[in-house]
Amino acid sequence: MQRFPIRRISPLKRNVPDGGTYVFLGAHWRNKAWPYLIPRPRRLIYVFNTLHPKVIALTTRMPRMLGWPAAELVLISDFQRRMQQIDGVVHPSPIEIGRFSPRLTRPDGPFTVGRLSGDRPDKHHADDAPLYEALLADGTAIRIQGGMPLKDRLRPHSQLELIPQGRFAAEEFLRTLDVFYYRTSSHVVETFGRVVFEAMACGLPVVCHSHGGYADHIRHGENGFLFETTQQAARILADLKADPGLRATVGHKARQTVEQLFSPQALRQRLDFYLR
């Protein structure tokens, strides 16, 4: 809000939309009074970033008295569109890829597998703690930011780091890893998976569960790896540990994928959707 002319909506201060195109980001219709007091939008766009079906109903069914146009939906992944069987244009969630860059040299130390997420138990799969234990026993270092829910599930180890959410900026943390690993609990499905693309932007090979929005952009064995079972994940991680060349090749392709996804041309095309 300090960098850009952003204002909170306030009818009393006359800080309200004044016609044109209204874009709601990650939001849905809420029963407020101010929409009845402002000019009718020419276009109404909802950037819809969740898999929750009730939010779709709230977003698309507005009070008839309001008189607003039908909502245009912008989804953030093809996976989301398939899962919910709804129509909408797909725009990947924007990432400032200039913040993220591959490290030039590998720091001294053990082969390191890590991940980044929120400090929530449901961000971690029940089978991941045993996988981490096996990796540690094999000499792999484990580094997890957002790993505090695992403190009671993993025994202390000299090569295990569980770091609170937000301790390090994502771009700083990711450059300390050799491989990015990601899977959530069976109760959580990533509509997009921003952290996966940030890792790819850092030139890391990503090893991810196959169920999530990011999976549409991962070509297994080329710019990343997808797995269904813990045993598959363990084999992929073992191969990457043994083959630095494979890590470099896949990481390079991962960075190229993100560069194409968020190229100036791609961003301009998405912007034109809002300006047409």
Give the domain ranges of the chain. Answer: 21-91, 97-261
Given a cut of 90, whether residue 155 has pLDDT beyond it is yes
Give me the pLDDT at residue 275, please.
93
Given a cut of 90, whether residue 156 has pLDDT beyond it is yes
Given a cut of 70, whether residue 142 has pLDDT beyond it is yes
Give me the pLDDT at residue 28, please.
64
Give me the pLDDT at residue 233, please.
98
Convert the pLDDT of each residue in 28-78 to its tens digit: 666 778 888 889 999 999 998 888 877 777 777 777 888 899 889 999 999
The residue length of the chain stands at: 276
Give me the pLDDT at residue 135, please.
98
Convert the pLDDT of each residue in 203-235 to its tens digit: 999 999 999 999 999 999 999 999 999 999 999
What's the mean pLDDT in 243-252?
96
97-261 architecture in CATH? 3-Layer(aba) Sandwich (3.40)
Given a cut of 90, whether residue 195 has pLDDT beyond it is yes
Collect contacts of 264-272 with beta carbons under 8 A, ≥24 apart.
267/94, 270/91
Give me the pLDDT at residue 132, please.
98
Query: pTM score, two decimals?
Result: 0.91
Give me the pLDDT at residue 214, please.
96
Tokens of 37: 């007091």
Is the dihedral angle over the CA atoms 132, 234, 219, 208 positive or is it negative? negative
Calculate the average pLDDT of the chain.
Answer: 92
Pick from 17-26, 58-67, 106-115, 132-141: least confident: 58-67
**pLDDT > 90: what percent of the chain?**
71
Give me the pLDDT at residue 35, please.
87
Q: Please tell me the distance from the alpha carbon of residue 102 to that of residue 200, in angstroms, as a whole number.
A: 9
Give me the pLDDT at residue 192, please.
94
